Structure 1
Amino acid sequence: MTLTESTRILDDIFARSRLLPVISIEDMQDVLPLVDALAAGGIKTFEITLRTPMGLPAIELLRRERPGLCVGAGTVLDAAQFQAVVDAEAQFIVTPGCTDELLELGLDSRVPLLPGIATASEILAGYRLGYRRFKLFPAQACGGVQLLEAFAAPFGDVRFCPTGGITQASAAGYLALNNVMSVGGTWMAPRELIRQGDWAGIRRLGEESAALF
């Protein structure tokens, strides 16, 4: 698959859902009720991170049991993890930063890559290869809305999915930017509510968050 095709797929994914819950699974029993609660609230695209050992099996479970949802893999750090999430049938791949290795892997991958960046130089490293869609991370810490506004002029054909430190209150400011295609965060599925099994509370957060756009 070419990068042009990858860009089109990412645009299609985030046109359908401009909010991206970033989820780290601690207990496999939480996986289905958690995503079902968010889906009932109107959010049907997810980034399941590899920050815990349950990340990969959670992706496999969701792809098997919830084929109508869109499930991406996050916190992919190296070639081994990249191949593992491709084999698990993740529908997109998100990295916290960009290395030559990861950017090269994304060039002909059958799964679109959203590489992470925090600086103009990192954008240029991906831009040179043909990437036009990036994750900004950690968004709040590295400049947030003001940084994205500054990126808009030199990178007019680039769009971003900012994540990192974004809250329900600050998400609308990001979503208002023309170069933001989606906003990611953990506020839609806070760890405390997951541990409590408060699926009704998570559904309400999904509904409130979906109302932002």
Structure 2
Amino acid sequence: MSSLPPLLSSEPSSTLSSVIKGPALLPIIQADTPHEAVAIAKALADGGVGSVEVVLRTRQALAAITAIRTALPDLLVGAGTVLSATDANACKAAGAQFLVSPASTAKLLEAMLASGLPFVPGVATPSEIAMAQEYGLREVKFFPAHLSGGIEMLKALSGVFQQMKFCPTGGIGQHNLAEFLALPNVFVAGGSWLTPASMVQTQQWSQITALAAAATAIARQIKTAA
């Protein structure tokens, strides 16, 4: 028999916005090895980033979370692409400090609630946002942001879902970061533009640091995460 909490009876121990460190940025790390993950994380941290999301898209993702937590204890490390209760539990055991999913279902929301970790579920429609609200959530990931209406959609949603805050991810880069972060209902911006696969493959850590520093400067001009 399921031991998951019933609808609306539980909330995450804290919100993602309350634990994110540094500027309002949540860059994605996708690494093939723990060593590579630590190198990427260090390059981002050297550029001023305080929080990262390790996505579960490689076999070594869980080991990467643990390795970054060990090597860079001051960096906030979360897990992304969480799709099941198994994922949520494994990420928590690996040391993830928050969870991010690309989608929302009742079962997935309940699993992430049960983890006790701060989390943001992925949404792309008003119905998904309404479901998150029914579970007592006030922060969600807007994904894929650029294909789901982008800035104009977030503006439209702000009037209907006045208490909801968003982490837009997908299609965000240096060119539009400021415009996204300027929205009152955006608390952090996520994405992979700070960790291009080509730079990771060629170990261009100083270039990743430079990208992170530029994004940090933009973010700090507009808003800084708590």
Q: Name the TM-score class by shorter chain.
A: over 0.9
Aligned pair count reads: 211
Q: Contact 1:14 / 1:181 at 8 angstroms: preserved in 2?
A: no
Residues 1:206 and 2:212 are matched in the alignment: yes
Q: Contact 1:41 / 1:210 at 8 angstroms: preserved in 2?
A: yes
Read off the aligned partner of 2:103 and give its amino acid letter: G
Describe the SS at the equivalent of 2:176: helix
Residues 1:138 and 2:144 are matched in the alignment: yes
Q: Contact 2:101 / 2:122 at 8 angstroms: preserved in 1?
A: yes
Q: Deviations over 1:19-69 (max 9, x none)?
A: 111121123331222111111110020000001112111001112222111
Q: What is the deviation of 1:185?
A: 1.1
Q: Contact 2:12 / 2:117 at 8 angstroms: preserved in 1?
A: no
Q: Deviations over 1:59-117 (max 9, x none)?
A: 01112222111000000111111110011120100000011111112334221121000
Q: What is the distance in 1 between the residues matched to 2:26 and 2:165? A: 15
135-144 or 61-70, which deviates more: 61-70
CA RMSD of aligned residues (A): 1.5
Q: What is the distance in 2 between the residues matched to 1:27 and 1:134? A: 29
Q: What is the deviation of 1:6?
A: 2.3
Read off the aligned partner of 1:136 and give its amino acid letter: F
TM-score (norm 2): 0.89
1:3 maps to which residue?
11
1:163 maps to which residue?
169
Read off the aligned partner of 2:176 and give its amino acid letter: S
Specify every segment of 5 or more residues in structure 2 that has no aligned partner in the other structure, as ranges.
1-8, 220-226
2:45 maps to which residue?
39
Read off the aligned partner of 1:33 and give its amino acid letter: A
Picking from 31, 50, 55, the partner of 1:49 is 55
Describe the SS at the equivalent of 2:190: strand
Q: Structure 1 segments of 4 or more deviating over 4 A?
A: none
Q: Percent identity?
A: 40
Specify every segment of 5 or more residues in structure 1 that has no aligned partner in the other structure, as ranges.
none
Q: What is the distance in 1 between the residues matched to 2:122 and 2:23? A: 19
Picking from 185, 191, 204, the partner of 1:179 is 185
2:94 maps to which residue?
88
Q: What is the deviation of 1:12?
A: 2.0
Q: What is the distance in 1 between the residues matched to 2:150 and 2:123? A: 12
6 and 106 in structure 1: CA distance in 2 versus 1, 3 angstrom threshold: farther
Describe the SS at the equivalent of 2:32: coil
1:69 maps to which residue?
75
Q: Deviations over 1:143-165 (max 9, x none)?
A: 00011001101111110000012
TM-score (norm 1): 0.94
